[in-house]
């Protein structure tokens, strides 16, 4: 029987998520070379190639796509077990907000971990736009919220500072003579505001083909090949791709994905949810932490 090193599995998930060996290394606090060696070791152990690599792109191979959900479940259970052993039995109600543009794949993992490992915690989740979640937190209707906002907030843990990128389906054909056909979240979305600022600054014409509060509607519009959108690196769904810089679209800024919390003390149950969120998203303890003075 083969015993796999947990570090190999974490490196596999990091590269699959970030689509970059260098960004995976930054996330894991190790060098790109170390990540490459770990992936090679894992591939040698299982006898399968996990990634298709080119100069600009890292994509999961067919065996890699098949393996990814199994590895994520294993790591989730491993980390939840460590938390459980360290914290003991917890109980209480925790109200968590998750932004529409971020939590789709992550939310099912979090709910499964909490249900299986911390059954005494009653987790209530609200999905909405970041600006609405921020207001719910200020009104004390949420304990925690994962949001994408243009600026760092007090009482927040920075989860990621991913670069925004132009995203399309393989069927989309860029025509510089026509306005950019954009699929946007509704007013108040940080991605929308940042993109419109860049387009106006560069004097580039665009039209809003779709304006919605639903991520599924945006993905449907992009899948049709008639619209493009903007997403954070590391969150691009399978089947979509980043438009190459060579076509002439302007550079987009970084976004700020953060876990904000109520200003008064969190309950032990809420602290456990916070810890689980950070571990599921691969944020090392203490990294990117920005607390209010």
117 touches 105 (CB < 8 A): no
SS3 144: strand
209 touches 227 (CB < 8 A): yes
pLDDT of residue 103: 62
Q: Tell me: the pLDDT tens digits for 255-275? A: 888 999 988 788 889 988 998
pLDDT of residue 105: 63
Mean pLDDT of the chain, nearest integer: 85
Q: Tell me: the pLDDT tens digits for 137-157? A: 988 899 999 998 777 777 788
**Residue 3 pLDDT level (bands cut at 50, 70, 90):** confident
SS3 102: coil
SS3 171: coil
Residue 285 has φ and ψ, to the nearest 5°, of -55, 130
Nearest one of 233, 226, 228, 225 to 183, comparing CA atoms: 228
SS3 204: coil
Q: Tell me: the pLDDT tens digits for 193-223? A: 999 999 999 999 999 999 988 888 999 999 9
Cα Rg of the chain, angstroms: 20
Q: Taking 50 as the threshold, does the pLDDT of residue 290 lie above it?
A: no
Most confident of 18-22, 60-64, 150-154, 282-286: 60-64
Arithmetic mean of pLDDT, 81-91: 72
Residues comprising the chain, all counted: 293
Tokens linked to 147: 């949001």
Buried/exposed 104-114: b ≥16 CB within 10 Å, e otherwise: bebbebbeebb
pTM of the model: 0.68
Arithmetic mean of pLDDT, 17-24: 85
As a whole number of angstroms, the distance between CA 252 and CA 174 comes to 17
Interior CA angle at 152 toward 140 and 180, to 5°? Answer: 105
Q: Tell me: the pLDDT tens digits for 57-81? A: 788 999 999 999 899 888 888 877 7
pLDDT of residue 154: 74
Arithmetic mean of pLDDT, 48-61: 83
Domains and CATH numbers, the chain: 6-64 (1.10.10.10), 89-154+262-290 (3.40.190.10), 164-247 (3.40.190.10)
pLDDT of residue 293: 33
Interior CA angle at 22 toward 255 and 106, to 5°? Answer: 50
pLDDT of residue 288: 41
Q: Based on the number of CB atoms within 10 Å of its own CB, is 47 exposed (0-12), middle (13-18) or buried (19 or more)?
A: exposed
Name residue 259's beta-bridge partners: 146, 157
52 touches 72 (CB < 8 A): no
pLDDT of residue 291: 39
């Amino acid at each position: 029987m083969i015993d796999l090193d947990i570090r190999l599995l974490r490196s596999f998930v990091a590269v699959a998520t970030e689509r970059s060996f260098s960004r995976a290394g930054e996330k894991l606090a190790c060098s790109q070379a170390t990540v490459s060696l770990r992936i090679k070791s894992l591939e040698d152990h299982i006898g399968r190639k996990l990634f298709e690599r080119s100069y600009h792109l890292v994509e999961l191979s067919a065996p890699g796509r098949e393996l990814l959900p199994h590895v994520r479940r294993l790591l989730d259970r491993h980390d939840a077990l460590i938390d459980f052993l360290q914290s003991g039995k917890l109980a209480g109600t925790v109200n968590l907000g998750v932004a529409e543009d971020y939590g789709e794949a992550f939310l099912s993992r979090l709910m499964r971990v909490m249900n299986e490992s911390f059954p005494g915690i009653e987790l209530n989740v609200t999905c909405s736009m970041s600006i609405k979640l921020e207001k719910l937190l200020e009104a004390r209707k949420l304990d925690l919220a994962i949001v994408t906002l243009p600026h760092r907030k007090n009482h927040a843990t920075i989860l990621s500072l991913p670069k925004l990128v132009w995203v399309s389906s393989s069927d989309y054909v860029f025509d510089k003579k026509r306005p950019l056909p954009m699929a946007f979240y509704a007013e108040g979305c940080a991605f929308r505001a940042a993109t419109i600022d860049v387009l106006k600054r560069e004097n580039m014409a665009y039209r809003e083909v779709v304006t919605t509060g639903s991520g599924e509607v945006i993905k449907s519009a992009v899948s049709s090949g008639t619209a493009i959108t903007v997403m954070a690196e590391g969150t691009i769904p399978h089947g979509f791709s980043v438009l190459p810089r060579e076509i002439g679209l302007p550079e987009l800024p970084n976004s700020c994905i953060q876990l904000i919390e109520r200003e008064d003390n969190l309950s032990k149950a809420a602290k456990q949810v916070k810890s689980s969120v950070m571990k599921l998203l691969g944020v090392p303890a203490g990294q990117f932490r920005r607390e209010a003075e």
